[in-house]
Amino acid sequence: MKLYNAPSGNTKRVRIFIAEKGIEIPRVDLDIPAGTRSTEFRKINSLGELPVLELDDGQVITESLAICRYLEAAFPEPPLMGRDAAEQGHIEMWSQRIYGQIFMPYGLFVRHSLSLFADIVDQVPAFAEAQVKAIPEKWSWLDREISDGRPFIAGEAFTMADVHGMTVLMLADAFDLPIPDHCDNVNKWARAMRTRSSWDA
């Protein structure tokens, strides 16, 4: 296998997942946008996006969540998406919540403000600004949700929900849109995530 990689939120998600699984996958590092929008790369992924996982038989899997699902099935230990139906449903719920409620405002801000994406989406600066304004309340929501003292987003163990959350932390750092100071529970969680070896993946 090999992972086509570049510095981005979506590739960071996969790198964290790989690190938490304790597996080694060689990387092919590409520049954005030159490397990903070339004719050669579009033969691998017609959308010109990363990450891409190429399997040993040449099959290609794109989309970070799809790659993580493949890796969970191929390398089930440690489980990051749950062992049984109840765990899987619970973890998926929290994964979707973090992705939809917190990651997406950051992601939409990036896509509607960076010149890198100007040829991909019709950028609306006011929409980007609206996402920024929404971010503090999103963190406040999560702070209330984890006020029961659980150490990880979905409960007592590190899961895919925390992988999503760590991806958001990377974006928060990169664009200086941090967790509000009053969110004590989330900031405690964030400090713990930053000490994990996968943080530097």
Q: Does residue 31 have a pLDDT over 90? A: no
CA 179/CA 190 separation, integer angstroms: 9
Give every CB contact of residue 134 below 8 A, 6+ residues apart in sequence. Answer: 105
Residues of the chain with CATH 1.20.1050.10: 85-200
Ramachandran area for residue 82 (φ above 0: left; ψ -120 to 50: alpha; else beta): left
What's the pLDDT at 157?
Answer: 98
Residues of the chain with CATH 3.40.30.10: 2-74
Q: Does residue 53 have a pLDDT over 90? A: yes
Q: Give the residue carrying structure tokens 């510095």.
A: 7
pTM: 0.93
Pick the CATH number of 85-200 from 1.20.1050.10, 3.30.2400.10, 3.40.50.300, 1.10.3720.10: 1.20.1050.10
76 phi and psi, to 5 degrees? -70, -15
What is the CATH code for 2-74?
3.40.30.10
Query: How would residue 9 be classed by pLDDT, with cut points 50, 70 and 90?
Result: confident
What's the pLDDT at 48?
Answer: 85
Q: Does residue 73 have a pLDDT over 90? A: yes
Q: What is the DSSP letter of 24?
A: -
How many CA atoms, within 13 angstroms, populate the side-chain half-sphere of residue 86?
1
The 10s digit of each residue's pLDDT in 139-194 is 999 999 999 999 999 999 999 999 999 999 999 999 999 999 999 999 999 999 99
Q: Is the dihedral of CA 32, 190, 15, 137 positive or negative?
A: negative
